[in-house]
Structure 1
Amino acid sequence: MSGARFIGLIAATDLQSLASWRAVGWDLCAAAADRWWLRVPQDDEAVFMKLPLAGRWHEDADGLMTRLGKRVPEQTAPATGWVPLATLLPVGPPRRGAVAMPPVPVAWSLEADDADRPAEALMCRWPDFMAWALAAFAPRLECLSFARCDDDRVFVTGHPLPPVRGQGYHRAGRLWLPGGHRLPSHVWPELLEERLRLGTSRFALLHPDGSHEEMAEENFVRASRAAVRLTEGDPVSFETP
């Protein structure tokens, strides 16, 4: 390859995530015992930005590497040692009689997000929400829905949210993400929804460590003082797969 390119740093444990692109002319070079440099043509920028990389650089025609978002080169790309991706991830026939192998899972967790995203939902303690709701005016409650969990948490959606201490969440499809966090660029909401088998009637509540809980849409009720009183003795469980 020649001209401007992209270079990324990928963990050896994540190399299998590149298998779909073994035939497009990408190159790898050993960076350490557990990390590899990945070189990608500039035309593949859209795919490059979604890969599980520990760092991303732009490489100019002289081999100088500038971290994306920066202006000053910080190092020079390795001059030798590059091998085609297809060499390290060859395609071969399966062993006779071998069982089908599932795709190799790639671990991930939510990333910190500096974007100022408005909260669209609130997770708080049930006693705090109940005390506020029983004292609030009816029109103030009508714009809210809630689902109470049997561990004394309650998840509230709507606008404006109640002025109760708790964790704010923003929504991506059928996924709820805690405030200050986002999905990694290589994790697409649509694919994650499919992987979790949420269908059209369930939501996933994501946590920063990559774990999640699931909620059924039918567990949400329109907020009112009567609904709060009835729910006091009838909580539901958020499911942890």
Structure 2
Amino acid sequence: MKEMVMILPASAYNALGNVRTIPRLAAARHGDQIWLRGISPHQPEKALRQLPVLHTYLLDAEERLFLPGKRTPHSALPYLSWEPMFSFIKAELPMSALPARLQERYMPVLAPSGVPAEVQALLTSLQTWKEYAETAPLIRLQRLRFAATEVGQVLITGTPLPPIPGKAYTIRYNILLPAGYDFDLPAVASLTAARLNPENDALLLFHVNGQWERIPAQNFVRATRSAIRLTHSVT
């Protein structure tokens, strides 16, 4: 058997962000399902094994589908419009806006803070990030994760952060604040997180002017040279 094929429900689209950078992985829509191919039948990556898979098949050279452990074909691979995973799933930092009524009640205001805080995130250019990663020790990269935008920026999280130019951020309640700044009323941070990120499944990146972006946790991938090169090549 030359590869494995996985079938997922269409509702699992967002979960595919965790496998976006796996080489040779391709995806296609088929009705209310998403099909994946290009998977090694011997040892699929851990991230693939964690997907909400409906069915798994083995594919032979004649594109016949077999159930695992069976020698008789179950069916043939349908003709589908396959896309590389990095184009099927876009890496981005989705923009968000405060609901109008909420903005009337509370408009986020940041002010300089005299309280020191550890820097835990860095916003820099994708080109700068790639140039650093090409020669960085692997042990440094393994401690980092990143999410990229389609306009050539990348947000890096983890410690220690790379010594490259960029905007530094601190993290509190999953809120990213520019280093040296805090809410004008620091106690509001926990309330803001509870209101804007109730599921605690994203990072909220605030700018000095009070504008903010919601970055789903699934948009972040582990920092590897291959993942960074792939992201650079398609952004």
| Normalised TM-score (structure 2) | 0.53
2:42 — aligned with what?
none
How many angstroms does 1:142 deviate by?
Answer: 0.5
Give 2:213's aligned amino acid. Answer: E
How many angstroms does 1:233 deviate by?
Answer: 3.5
CA distance in 1, matches of 2:104, 2:127: 44
2:18 — aligned with what?
none
CA distance in 2, matches of 1:204, 1:102: 16
CA distance in 2, matches of 1:103, 1:143: 37
2:92 — aligned with what?
none
CA distance in 2, matches of 1:190, 1:227: 33
Alpha-carbon spacing, 1:127–1:105, altered in 2? closer, same or farther (3 Å): same
Per-residue displacement from partner, 1:192-237 (whole Å, max 9, x unpaired)? Answer: 12322452211110011111011010111111111111222345xx
2:205 — aligned with what?
205
How many angstroms does 1:187 deviate by?
Answer: 5.2
Equivalent residues of 1:198, 1:204 under 8 A apart: no
Alpha-carbon spacing, 1:106–1:218, altered in 2? closer, same or farther (3 Å): closer
CA distance in 1, matches of 2:227, 2:186: 41
Give unmatched runs, 5+ long, in structure 1: 1-100, 236-241
**Identity score, percent:** 29
1:123 — aligned with what?
123
CA distance in 1, matches of 2:205, 2:189: 13
4+ long deviations beyond 6 Å = none
Equivalent residues of 1:146, 1:155 under 8 A apart: yes
How many angstroms does 1:106 deviate by?
Answer: 3.3
SS of structure 2 residue aligned to 1:215: strand
Give unmatched runs, 5+ long, in structure 2: 1-100
2:147 — aligned with what?
147
CA distance in 2, matches of 1:197, 1:162: 28
1:160 — aligned with what?
160
SS of structure 2 residue aligned to 1:193: helix
RMSD (Å) for aligned C-alpha atoms: 2.1
Q: How many residues align?
A: 135
2:30 — aligned with what?
none
Write the mapping of 1:228-239 to structure 2, written as runs, cut at 5 A. Answer: 228-235=228-235
How many angstroms does 1:138 deviate by?
Answer: 1.2
1:44 — aligned with what?
none
CA distance in 1, matches of 2:112, 2:103: 27
1:133 — aligned with what?
133
1:195 — aligned with what?
195
SS of structure 2 residue aligned to 1:132: helix
The higher-RCO structure (CA 8 Å, 6+ apart) is 2
2:219 — aligned with what?
219
SS of structure 2 residue aligned to 1:117: coil
Equivalent residues of 1:134, 1:228 under 8 A apart: no
| Normalised TM-score (structure 1) | 0.52
CA distance in 2, matches of 1:103, 1:116: 29
Alpha-carbon spacing, 1:197–1:116, altered in 2? closer, same or farther (3 Å): closer
CA distance in 2, matches of 1:135, 1:117: 29
How many angstroms does 1:103 deviate by?
Answer: 9.7
Give 1:183's aligned amino acid. Answer: F
Equivalent residues of 2:170, 2:179 under 8 A apart: yes
